[in-house]
Amino acid sequence: MRKTQLALLTLGATVLAGIATVTPAAARDYPWCAQGGEYDYPGECAYSTYEQCQASVSGRLLYCGPNPRVAYGQAPQPQPQPRRRTRPVAPY
């Protein structure tokens, strides 16, 4: 019984540690958006080139438009830099 409890506690701690270390993907503003249909304004802004956007919207009753955050110069929110862990150096 004690081994089972210890095993469950260890498993729970491992899962919590794994969840705590997951970070969201870095946000990036792409210059082209698929717009219309099921997408609200500004649309699905996930395309680096107009050609990529055109290939994606082909046959979907959508169109490509510029991403307003990129086109009108809205600066993206600054991402905090992760802190680097350093080991203390022993004095000589």
Answer yes or no: is pLDDT of 15 > 70. no
Q: Which pair of tokens denotes residue 9?
A: 């506690």
- Would you state the pLDDT for residue 19? 60
- Would you state the pLDDT for residue 41? 86
- Would you state the pLDDT for residue 63? 93
Question: Listing from the earlier edge strand, what are the strands of the sheet with 63-66?
Answer: 39-47, 32-36, 63-66
Torsion from C-alpha of 4, 7, 9, 10, nearest 10 degrees: 170
Contacts of 36 (CB under 8 A, 6+ apart): 43, 61, 62, 63
pTM, full prediction: 0.49
Cis geometry, peptide bond prior to residue 24 (ω within 30 degrees of 0): no
pLDDT in tens, 39-74: 888 889 999 999 999 999 999 899 999 998 888 776
Answer yes or no: is pLDDT of 18 > 70. no
Strand partners, 63: 35
